Amino acid sequence: MDGMLLAELQSVVPGRVSTATETLDRYSRDQGPLLSPALPVAVVRARTVEDVQELLRWATRHGVPIVSRGAGSGVSGGAHATDGCVVLSLEDMNRIVAITPDDETAVVEPGVINGELNDAVAEHGLMYAPDPASYRWSTIGGNVATNAGGLRCAKYGVTRESVLALDVVLADGTLVSVGHRPFKGVAGYDLAALMTGSEGTLGVIVGITVRLRYLPHAVHTLAAFFEDFPKAAEGVLAIGRARVQPAILELLDGRTLEALDGAHGSELRRRGGALLLVQTDGYGAAAEADVIRAALTELGAVVNQEDSAEAEQLVDLRRHSRGDSVDDLYRVGEDVAVPKSRLVPYVAALEAMAQKHRVQLKVVAHAGDGNLHPTFWVDRSEGAQGLERLEEALDESVRSALEFGGTITGEHGVGQYKQRWLAWEQSTEVLDLQSGIKRLFDPLGILNPGKAIG
């Protein structure tokens, strides 16, 4: 960067700017596959709303792209640096501003870690429901920017359902408040929902009012082992037909069980070819678990009522069954979602694709939402040929999900990596509307360019 520009940046956010090579490198990417590596020209670690406003005023004056990020836990490259950008890290804006137990709300800065908010509100009998697998290190700001999902959203909804109000710094440095502090509010267009999931392309989220939920009175966890993966997927439908809503409903295939056994010394794969992990919660948890156990047993599953230690361990293992290593070009985790009734045929189609393209496959799914995380991989030693087959399998898995009435991304976001699939899902007219919204909020195109939309 031009020395004058940099000097000006250092003067508008003094003490917050770093240009050390190792810092630039560390902030150059998130956990997503890296298509076109780039280093930021500087990293700004903001501590206040004013820092963010000053930075954006400077960026607007000079047309410098800003890539904002929390912990960098995203897996779609939404926080990858782009050429000539400044990375804005919100991780130091990590205060829990207020917890109001009677309102069942909290106000947080964007850098607050998801798990830390949950720890803080638990003493009030409350929880922040959205729980992406990264909850121990991802930030609420990043969760909102990607509209993150997680395990509990089968029952409690995704991040959007827990966001009441947002403070946002717009591209030109203007601070606005959108949404509403009460649980309900319909004044004007729903700009808080529009911001949620916009991946830093419409503004920088600097304050978040979230709705909290009640910590459940009781929790029951069932582990149902099935002969094979399609049969376990049928179990998901059986639970639905019993009209019981689990808090968590996770589907793990045999390869995932093997991987977990290898990493954690468990012996899950010996117990079956696929696992359906079910958690009910609340005052009806025990009765609901009974109904589910009966439905799954009838399907041929071996269902144990786990004691709470093993149950907790299984849920914990599941939380780590993806993200145990960083995605790269040779190993890519997908995030499609299909209507629930399509789970069984889609799972069968995935297995056929892996065979056809000679790639490795393991699958976990937030099955209650129809949201699947197939991971495809090839051995690095296969080089370009392996990569080509991997790409073909990925493309086919996405196209197939769309044919089943699904979406290219259930919860991870488009980021940089899924750009190539977006036009498969959305029409030119819809893509144009999104571009129009982008131009309205960010006429210079400085906010996380090349991400989220087409």
The closest of 406, 292, 390, 391 to 347, measured between CA atoms, is: 406
Minimum CB–partner distance for residue 125 and its own copies (Å): 4
- Give dist(CA 25, CA 35) in Å, integer: 16
Q: Which is nearer to its own copies, 7 or 433 (CB)?
A: 433
Nearer to its own copies, 47 or 366 (CB): 366
The C-alpha atoms of residue 313 and residue 320 are separated, in whole angstroms, by 11
> Which residues lie closer than 8 Å to 168 by C-beta, 6 or more apart?
175, 176, 177, 178, 195, 202, 203, 204, 205, 206
SS3 108: strand
What DSSP designation does 359 have?
-
First-to-final CA distance of the chain? 28
H-only helix segments in 173-225? 191-195
Q: Which among 424, 410, 416 has a CA at the least distance from the CA of 374?
A: 410
Residue 115: helix, strand or coil by DSSP? helix
Nearer to its own copies, 368 or 449 (CB): 368
Q: Which is nearer to its own copies, 239 or 274 (CB)?
A: 239
d(CA 121, CA 116): 9
Evaluated on CA atoms 419, 138, 208, 102, the torsion sign reads positive
Nearest distance, CB of residue 157 and its own copies, angstroms: 7
Nearer to its own copies, 54 or 425 (CB): 425
Report which residue type is found at 272: G
Residue 171 or 354: which CB sits closer to its own copies? 171
As measured in angstroms, the least distance from the Cβ of 196 to its own copies is 7
Say which DSSP state 336 is in. Answer: -
Which amino acid belongs to residue 334? Answer: E
101: tokens are 């137990």
CA–CA dist 330, 352 (Å, integer) = 20
Query: Any idea which residue has 């960026």 for tokens?
Result: 59
Strand (E) or helix (H) holding 177: strand 175-179
Find the angle CA(353)-CA(355)-CA(361) to the nearest 5 degrees. Answer: 75
Q: Which residue, among 176, 153, 166, 157, has the nearest Cα to 196 in the 3D structure?
A: 166
Pairing of strands 163-169, 175-179: antiparallel
Is the Cβ of residue 86 or residue 349 nearer to its own copies in the bound state?
349
Residue 34 or 212 with smaller CB distance to its own copies: 212
Closest to its own copies by CB, 105 or 256: 105
Using the minimum distance from each CB to its own copies, give the nearer residue, 255 or 442.
442
